[in-house]
Amino acid sequence: MAIERWRPFGALTEREPFRDIQSEVNRLFDSFLGRPTAAATGTGSRVWMPVVDMYETNDDLVLDFEIPGVREKDISLSITGDLLTVRGERQFRQELKDDHTYYIERAYGKFERSVQLPMPVQAGRVTATFRDGVLEVRLPKAEEVRPKEIKIDVL
């Protein structure tokens, strides 16, 4: 008969007491912020969306999507009316050959992010560049929303 040391809360490696709490907090924030959850999409895996910064210059509306670890060929961009949509997939490229993995916190799999544009843009002149994990989308403003200088005549 083997003697095993008694541990009142189980082995620390077997149990992660905060995992359930963290996933519940994530679910609450996702539902509050309107993000799709795994239950809503019908998948068993975690759903993720890239974060975005949106700002405007005199001539353009600029959106910067943060998509690290995704190849350019795995990203698609479309615009329909006033809705810009970025789709893609971050693939898990590492093979886990042993049991020495401690954390896998980054989300993998397909993503989709749609952003409603706050102003009319020229959809035919949109440009997109991808560098260092950031997708920059420049949408030229429509002529009617660009600021126009009016010359004031002195009498």
* pTM check: above 0.75: no
The whole-number mean pLDDT for each consecutive block of 10 residues of the chain, a chain of 155 residues, reads 60 56 71 54 61 93 94 92 92 72 79 92 93 95 79 84
pLDDT for res 40 = 47
Helices (H) and strands (E) in the chain, counts: 2, 7
Query: Which pLDDT belongs to residue 14?
Result: 52
* Alpha carbons 16 and 10: distance in angstroms, whole number: 10
Chain Cα centroid distance, residue 32: 16
Give residue 54's pLDDT.
96
